[in-house]
Amino acid sequence: MRLDQITRANPVMPVVVVNDAQEGVDVGRALVAGGINTAEVTFRTPAAPSAIEAMKNIDGLVVGAGTVLNAHQAERAIESGAQYVVSPGFSADVVRVCQDAGVPALPGCTDGSLIMAALEMGLDVVKFFPANILGGVSAIKAYSAVFPGLRFVPTGGVSPSSLPEYLQMPQIAACGGSWMVRRELVEARDWATITSLSAEAVRIAKENGR
C-alpha cells in the first residue's frame, strides 16, 4: 500500500508502545473500534515484531513499525509484516531497506538538509518530530514554501487541541501521536477509553476536512 493511501485513510496515526503481542492486539482492536485503521508499533520494546505479526490479522488495521533506528530493525519490521516504517530521524540505510522491499519509509526530517536527503531518495512525505518543540505549524509552513510538493507527518506533542491547526494545512498528510494510546491506558487495559479517544480524533479530523 502506498503511504498517501494510508495517510488519506488515517489522518491520525497512533504511535503505540506495547509490552507483548496480546497487548498489541487489544490496542489494535480498540483503535479500529474507534475508527482509526492504523497503528505504528514502536521498536522501543522487544515485543514490537511479535506484536506486528499478531496485529496484522486484525481486520481493517494497517500495521506499521515505528522508532526504527537502523537497517536491521527495518528488516525485522518488514519480515514481521509492517506495511510502513517510521523513524525518528533520517537514515539512508533504513530508507534503502524499505525501498528494496517496496514498503513505504517515513523518516523524521527536521531541517533542510535532511529533507533534501529524503527528496534525493525519492520520498515525498516526511515525519516532522518533535513537532511541538520544533515550531509546529509555523515551521512546517516555512519548509513548505521552499519544498513544494513535500508533505509532512508532524508528531510529538500533538493533541486533540492542536490537531485542527495541523490538519487544516494541506501540506500535512497526517498527524502522529500517542495521546489515544497512552501507556497508562494500555496498562490499565482501558480499551474503552482508547476507543473513545480514537473516535474523538476521527471526529476532529472530519471536522477539519479529513
- 95/201 with CB nearer ligand 3PG: 201
Using rule CB under 6 A, residue 157 touches ligand 3PG: yes
Span of 71-79, 98-106, 177-185, 197-205 interacting with ligand 3PG by CB under 6 A: 177-185
The beta strands (E) that lie in 68-140 are given as: 85-87, 105-107, 125-128
Span of 29-37, 49-57, 96-104, 175-183 interacting with ligand 3PG by CB under 6 A: 175-183
Using rule CB under 6 A, residue 198 touches ligand 3PG: no
Contacts of 204 (CB under 8 A, 6+ apart): 160, 163, 164, 167
Active site residue 40: yes
**CA 185, 188, 189, 191 torsion-angle sign:** negative
- 61/153 with CB nearer ligand 3PG: 153
Using rule CB under 6 A, residue 156 touches ligand 3PG: yes
Determine if the peptide bond prior to 130 is cis (ω within 30°): yes
Give the integer Cα–Cα distance in Å for 143 and 196: 34
The beta strands (E) that lie in the chain are given as: 12-16, 38-42, 62-66, 85-87, 105-107, 125-128, 151-154, 175-177
Using rule CB under 6 A, residue 178 touches ligand 3PG: yes
Closest distance of CB 116 from ligand 3PG, Å: 22
Options 23, 40, 79, 207, the catalytic residue: 40
* Burial (CB count within 10 angstroms: exposed 0-12, middle 13-18, buried 19+), residue 162: middle
Nine-digit cell string for 49: 515484531
Residue 123 identity: L
Using rule CB under 6 A, residue 80 touches ligand 3PG: no
Q: From residue 28 to residue 67, what is the string marking binding to ligand 3PG with x (rule CB under 6 A)?
A: --------------------------------------xx
For ligand 3PG (CB under 6 A), the number of binding residues is 12
Closest distance of CB 42 from ligand 3PG, Å: 6
Give the integer Cα–Cα distance in Å for 196 and 210: 18
Question: Considering only residues 84-143, where is the footprint of ligand 3PG by CB under 6 A?
Answer: 129
Active site residue 187: no
Q: Which residues bind ligand 3PG (CB under 6 A)?
A: 15, 66-67, 129, 155-158, 176-179
Hey, which residues are catalytic here? 40, 127
